[in-house]
Chain A
Amino acid sequence: MENSKEKHCWNYVDIGIRNKVPVVQLEIIVNDKSYSFNFMVDTGYDGCLLVPYSIYRQLGLEKFELPKDKWGVGETVSGEIFPLIFALCKIKIADTIFECIIETFEGNNDFLVGLDFLKNFNVELRGSKQEFCLLKY
């Protein structure tokens, strides 16, 4: 990870598909403990963070859950519908800590950051260097 005062960059990661993907490493803070994960950047996802259901359970995020009538459903571009579970948590990226709704659904194995997360930063995809950078406003 390359750091300047305002900019934080991560190398694209090979996840076994045709192209390497932009990822960002961030920490989920639960009861003053931080848990670090790599999240794939997905501008097609409009939430903040999506975590695997197993991680949601392991971190005990059901103790920070939103009421069911505030949960939503997720829809893929291919039309599949998933009922989503929402929990409220703090996340830390570099020196910035903010609240974020963490989402999951049963059967999910992906770590994603979406538009709700990215709106807090200026984003740079440096294709030639295979780097993903976040810049603070």
Chain B
Amino acid sequence: MGIIKANIDEDLRRKLWEKAFKKFGYSKGAISMAIKEAVQRWVQEDEKSDEAESERILNNNAYLKLKERLEREYNGQYVLIAKGDFIAAAKTFDEIVKIANTKVPNAKHRLIFKVTQEEKRRRGRLGWRIRRKSIAGTT
């Protein structure tokens, strides 16, 4: 058992207290149990994210190696790359998803796309990302 000291803002601290007491009752260990659960969840989530990221790198490297072959042999088809390898090609999106769920159900990351030789879209517009809020005298 270790002791962790941390600073959190007042609002979050109040919420933590409320939730912990609601879930674990008004006992001495309620806060510790809540923090333990939160940290466990965060660690699991982060590990899952790391796995997905390493598979993403693996799959993208495989894609770069296979790119020319895919464009030559599977133009217009949907292809699946997972676990660093070309898995399958299919004529429809539904088919390739079915194959993905059967052949690589445990993959944390997969590449599924339609092979085309079109120029990729390099830059897109995201619109106005400014929101005007009403303040006195402006409505």
Docked-complex contact B132 and A17, CB < 8 angstroms:
yes
In the docked arrangement, what's the CA distance between A64 and B139, Å?
44
Docked-complex contact B134 and A17, CB < 8 angstroms:
yes
Query: Do A65 and B112 form a contact, CB below 8 Å, given A31-B101, A72-B120?
Result: yes
In this complex, what residue of A is CB-closest to B118?
A70
Docked-complex contact A62 and B125, CB < 8 angstroms:
no
- Band of interface residues on B: 35 or more
Q: How many A-B pairs fall under 8 Å by CB? A: 105
Docked-complex contact B130 and A78, CB < 8 angstroms:
yes
In the docked arrangement, what's the CA distance between A78 and B126, Å?
10
Nearest CB of B to A103, in Å: 8
Residues of chain B within 8 A of A124, CB atoms compared:
none
Nearest CB of B to A93, in Å: 17
Tell me which of A62, A77, A90 contacts B127 (CB under 8 A): A77
Docked-complex contact B125 and A66, CB < 8 angstroms:
no
- Judge whether A16 is part of the interface by a CB distance below 8 angstroms: yes
Docked-complex contact B120 and A70, CB < 8 angstroms:
yes
Docked-complex contact B97 and A47, CB < 8 angstroms:
no
Residues of chain B within 8 A of A65, CB atoms compared:
56, 109-112
Docked-complex contact A47 and B132, CB < 8 angstroms:
no
- Judge whether B15 is part of the interface by a CB distance below 8 angstroms: no
- Band of interface residues on A: 35 or more
Tell me which of B108, B126, B128, B133 contacts A62 (CB under 8 A): B108
Residues of chain B within 8 A of A49, CB atoms compared:
none
In this complex, what residue of A is CB-closest to B62?
A67
* Most chain B CB neighbours (cut-off 10 Å) among A66, A67, A80, A90: A67
In the docked arrangement, what's the CA distance between A74 and B137, Å?
34
In this complex, what residue of B is CB-closest to A43?
B127
Residues of chain B within 8 A of A18, CB atoms compared:
132-134, 138-139
Tell me which of A67, A70, A74 contacts B126 (CB under 8 A): A74
Q: Digit string of B18-62 for contact with A (CB within 8 Å is 1, else 0)?
A: 000000000000000000000000000000010010001001100
Nearest CB of A to B72, in Å: 16
In the docked arrangement, what's the CA distance between A68 and B125, Å?
19
